[in-house]
Structure 1
Amino acid sequence: MQTLLSQRFTAYVGIDWADTKHDVCLQVAGESRRHFSVIDHTPQSIDRWAKSLFERYGAPIAIALELNKGPLVAALQKYEFFCLFPINPSTLAKHRKAFVGSGAKDDPTDAQWALELLLTYPQRFAQLMPQSPAMRILASLTEHRRALVDERVKVSNRLICTLKQYYPAALELFSNHDSVVFCDFLMRWPTLEHLKRSRQSTFLKFFNEHNARHAQLNQTRWEIITQAMPLTQDPGVIRPSQLYATALASQLKGLICTLKDFDREIQETANSLADYPIFKALPGAGQHLAPRLMVAFGEQRDRFSDANAMQRYAGIAPVTQRSGKKTVVYWRYQCSTFLRQTFVEWAAHSITQSTWAEAYYRQQRAKGCSYQATLRALAFKWIRIVYRCWKTSTYYDEKAYLQALTGRGSTLVEAPMEVVSG
C-alpha cells in the first residue's frame, strides 16, 4: 500500500497543530529523509508555506493532521493541491505510546508519528472531502445553536436560584422563566419593593405591550403582588442579588433573541438543500432535529458503506469485546456526543409520532430496559430505516412500513399497549 500511496502524491506532511504555531514533518515521495519545520499560525505564514510546497513538489500533497475541522483545516482546505487525512488524536496517542515507553511527548515527533501512520496504514484513513458550503454552514449553525441552548439553560438556572434568595414572587408570576417578557419584567421591576410602588395600570400596560393580554391571568398576577411579602429586607442580600439578577436577565434575553435568529437562519439554509424534505418527513423530527439529522447523514451518498457504518459513526452501535468464552458489550466512547445526542433526542420524539416506535418502546421497557438504553435501541432501528430512505432519496412512509412489519409477522404491529411506569 505504501508503494501505491507514493505513486499518488508528490510529498507527505504530518502536522502537529497548536494555537500559535504548527510543527511540520515532511517526506518527499521516493525518499526516506524527513524534514522538520515550524510555521506560525497566521494567514500569511500558512500561505507562504503552502505555496512554497507547491512550487517545489507540485501536486497533490498529502497532509496528515489530528483534526477534521477548525481554523487550521479551514486554512488548508482552500488550497486545491492539498489532500487532508484526519487522524484521531487517541489513535495517534496510542501509536506514540506503543513505541515510546517513557511516555515522552514532543510536538515535532507528534508530527512525525502522524506522517508515519499515514504512510504505514494508508487504507485506514479516509481523505477529508468537504461537503457543499450550504451543508457546512448548516452543520455549524446546528452545533452553535445547541451550545447556545445549553448556555440558556445555565443562565436561566442561575437566575431562578438568585430570585429564590430575595424575590420569589417574581417566579410565582410566570410559568415560563425562559421568555423575553420574564426578562423584561425583571429589568423593569428588579425587586418586590419596585414592583409594589408601581400602579396597576402600568403593570397591565406592560403585559399588553408584550402581547400577554390575558385579562384574568394578569388580574391574578396583580392580586399576588398586592398580597406578596418580602422574603428578606436585608440590603446586604437584596442589593447584590438585584444587580446580579438584572445582569442575568439581560444575558438570558440576549440568548433567547439570538436563538430565534439561529432558527431562522437554519430553516433558510435547510430549505435550500435538496435532501431536506426527506428528513423533514421523519416522525417527530420537527424544525430543530430534522436539520441536525440531515447534517449527520450529509449529502455524499458514498460516505457510509452501509447502515451499520452510520450506526457506529453516530455512537449508537455498542462495542463488543470477545476473549475466549467472555463477551462484553459496552458503551461506545469514541464518537461525537452531539451526533449521538441528535439521534437519541429524535428517538424520544418519535415515540408519540410513530405507531411501531411506541410499540417498540413499550416492549423494551416491559423487558426491564432503562429509558436511555431503550432510546438508543430505538435510534439503532431508526438509523437503518433512514439510511435506506437517504440512499434511495425516498420519503419515509409510516403506513408502508407498518404493512411491511405485518407481512413479516412483527410483534411491533400487535404489541400490547399496557402502560409502563417510569
Structure 2
Amino acid sequence: MPTITDLSTDPSSELPPFPPGGVTAGVDWASTDHAVAVVDDTGAAIDRFTVSAKASGLRELVTHLTGAGVQEVAIERCDGQVVDALLAAGLTVVVISPNQLANLRSRYRTSGNKDDRFDAYVLADTLRTDRTRLRPLIPDTPATVALRSAVRARKDLLAHRIGLANQLRAHLEFFYPGPVGLFTHLDAPTSLRFLARFTCQDDADWLTPARLATWLRSTGYPGRSDPAKLHAHLEAAPRGATGTAGAAAATVTTALVTALTTIAAQVHALEVHITDLFRAHPDAPIFLSLPRTQALRGGRLLGEIGDCRARFPTPESLASLAGVTPSTRQSGKVKITAFRWAADKQLRDAVCDFAADSRFANPWAAHIYDRARARGHRHPHAVRILARAWLHVIWRCWQDHQPYDPARHRAHRTVLDHQTTTAA
C-alpha cells in the first residue's frame, strides 16, 4: 500500500483541500471488533464508538458514520470486509499503513503505546492534517481481486508443500533412505505414488528390477531412467527400519504422502482456475507479451500490480511499492543507500521472480543483469536492479494498454545492435 512519502501528486486522485462536512473518521480494525473515532476540523474527537466485526456491526458502522456527516475514512488496510462496506456506502477510503501509524503515534504521545481507540483517533486526525500527502483508495476490479486471491492462495500452498516435502525427506532419511533421490523430486507424482505403494523397507525388499519395471509401466512413469538403475539405487541406499519399527514409520510416511498428494491436487486445481481467470482478463495480453511469461506468472504479475492505472501515476511509484528501488537516508554529508524494507512483499516477489527468469530470453534483460553483477552486486541485488528497469517498461505498456513489443523497445534494440556489431 502507498506510504505518505511515496504518494503521487497526480491531481486526478487528490483529496479536496478540506474534509467534506468538516469531519473525518478513523477505523482501527480487528478480528472481533473495530474501534472508530470521528474528529472535527479542529482535531477534537466528537465521537468514539466500537462496532463488532459481524455483518450487523458493519451496517452499524456505516449508519453511524453517515449520520455524523462523515465522507472520508482512514484505515490501515486496503482490502477486507470493512473496506468493502465503506466503499459500497460511497465513502472515500484512505489507507495509512501500520508502519506509518506506528510512527504517527509519537505525534500525540511520547510513549507510543498501542491502543485501538487511540489509533482510531490518530488515523482520523492524520486524514485531517496530512491531506496533501494522502490519496483515496481506488480499488481494483472484481476480476483482478479474484485473480490476486487465487495466486496468493497458490503461493501459500506451494510453501506448505515445500515444508511437507522437507519434513518427509527428513523422516525418510532416518527410517527409509532408499526412496530419497530415487526420482527427480521427492514430491513429484511418481515419487508420491511409489511411497504410497512401498511405504517401508519391507515393501521395498519385495521389489526386483522386473517387478519395479512392471509397477512403473502401470503408473505411466514418464521418466527415462532404466528400472534396473532405479532398483540399484534402492539396493545401494542404507537399509531402513523393518518389522514393527518399519510399520510404525510407514504410518508417518503414509500421513505425509497423503497430505502432499492432497496439496498437489489443490495446487493443480488452483492453477487451472488462475489460468481461466487470467486469460479472461482484459489486461492479459499485456502480461503474456513479456518474455518467459505464461498464464501463472502473468496472472501473478497482473494480480499484484492490479488494473487501477490511477494508483501508479509514475513508474517510480510502482517501483517504490515493489521495493526494487533503494531507500536513501541523508544527514549532513552522510548519505546511506540501503535495502527498502517498507514495500509490498507480494508484489516484490512476483516482479523479482519474473525479472530473474527474463534474462534467459531477453538480451536487454541479460545485459542489465550482467552489468550489475560485474559491478560486484550479488544475485538478489542484480535481480532487483533488473526488476526496476522492467517495471518502467511494464508500466508504460500497462498505462497504454499495449503488449510489450521488443522491436519498439529502444534499449533492447541498442543491445541487439551492439551484439551484432561485436559479433561482426
The interval holding the TM-score normalised by the smaller chain is: 0.7 to 0.9
CA contact (8 A) 2:364 2:411 kept: no
Structure 2 counterpart of 1:5, from 10, 14, 18: 18
AA of the residue aligned to 1:278:
I
Aligned position for 1:63: 73
Aligned position for 2:140: 131
Pair 1:393–1:33, CA change in 2 (3 A): closer
**TM-score normalised by structure 2 residue count:** 0.87
CA contact (8 A) 1:167 1:192 kept: yes
Aligned position for 2:192: 183
> How far is the alpha carbon of 1:166 from its aligned partner?
1.5
Partner SS state of residue 25, structure 1: strand
Structure 1 counterpart of 2:83, from 73, 96, 105: 73
Unaligned stretches of 5+ in structure 1?
A: 418-422
Determine the C-alpha separation between the residues in 2 that align with 1:329 and 1:228.
51
Q: Residues 164-179 of structure 1: matches in 2 within 5 Å?
A: 164-179=173-188
Structure 2 counterpart of 1:110, from 114, 119, 129: 119
Q: Residues 204-353 of structure 1: matches in 2 within 5 Å?
A: 204-212=213-221, 217-225=226-234, 230-233=239-242, 235-236=244-245, 238-353=246-361
Deviating more after overlay: 202-211 vs 290-299: 202-211
Partner SS state of residue 180, structure 2: helix
Structure 1 counterpart of 2:29, from 17, 20, 24: 17
Structure 2 counterpart of 1:151, from 153, 157, 160: 160
Aligned residue pairs, count: 410
CA deviations over 1:122-153 (Å, ceiling 9, x no partner)? 22222222211111001111111111111111
AA of the residue aligned to 2:310:
D
**TM-score normalised by structure 1 residue count:** 0.88
**Sequence identity of aligned pairs in percent?**
24
CA contact (8 A) 1:359 1:413 kept: no
Q: Residues 28-67 of structure 1: matches in 2 within 5 Å?
A: 32-54=44-66, 56-57=67-68, 61-67=71-77
AA of the residue aligned to 2:79:
K
CA contact (8 A) 1:23 1:38 kept: yes
CA deviations over 1:256-302 (Å, ceiling 9, x no partner)? 11111111111111111111111111012233221122223322222
CA contact (8 A) 1:43 1:75 kept: no
Aligned position for 1:361: 369
AA of the residue aligned to 2:31:
D
Determine the C-alpha separation between the residues in 2 that align with 1:410 and 1:323.
42
Aligned position for 1:26: 38
CA contact (8 A) 1:320 1:329 kept: yes
Determine the C-alpha separation between the residues in 2 that align with 1:346 and 1:412.
25
Pair 1:225–1:76, CA change in 2 (3 A): same
> How far is the alpha carbon of 1:46 from its aligned partner?
1.8
CA contact (8 A) 1:25 1:37 kept: yes
CA contact (8 A) 1:359 1:412 kept: no
Partner SS state of residue 365, structure 2: helix
Deviating more after overlay: 218-227 vs 109-118: 218-227
Pair 1:146–1:277, CA change in 2 (3 A): same
Pair 1:227–1:57, CA change in 2 (3 A): closer
Partner SS state of residue 170, structure 1: coil
Unaligned stretches of 5+ in structure 2?
A: 1-13
Partner SS state of residue 178, structure 2: helix
AA of the residue aligned to 2:343:
C
Deviating more after overlay: 363-372 vs 220-229: 220-229
CA deviations over 1:294-313 (Å, ceiling 9, x no partner)? 22332222221211111111
AA of the residue aligned to 1:273:
H
Determine the C-alpha separation between the residues in 2 that align with 1:272 and 1:195.
48
Aligned position for 1:377: 385
CA contact (8 A) 1:356 1:412 kept: no
Partner SS state of residue 18, structure 1: coil
Pair 1:38–1:324, CA change in 2 (3 A): same
CA contact (8 A) 2:25 2:73 kept: yes
CA contact (8 A) 1:9 1:62 kept: no
Cα RMSD after superposing both structures: 2.9
AA of the residue aligned to 1:217:
D
Determine the C-alpha separation between the residues in 2 that align with 1:225 and 1:110.
61
Partner SS state of residue 187, structure 2: coil
> How far is the alpha carbon of 1:154 from its aligned partner?
1.0
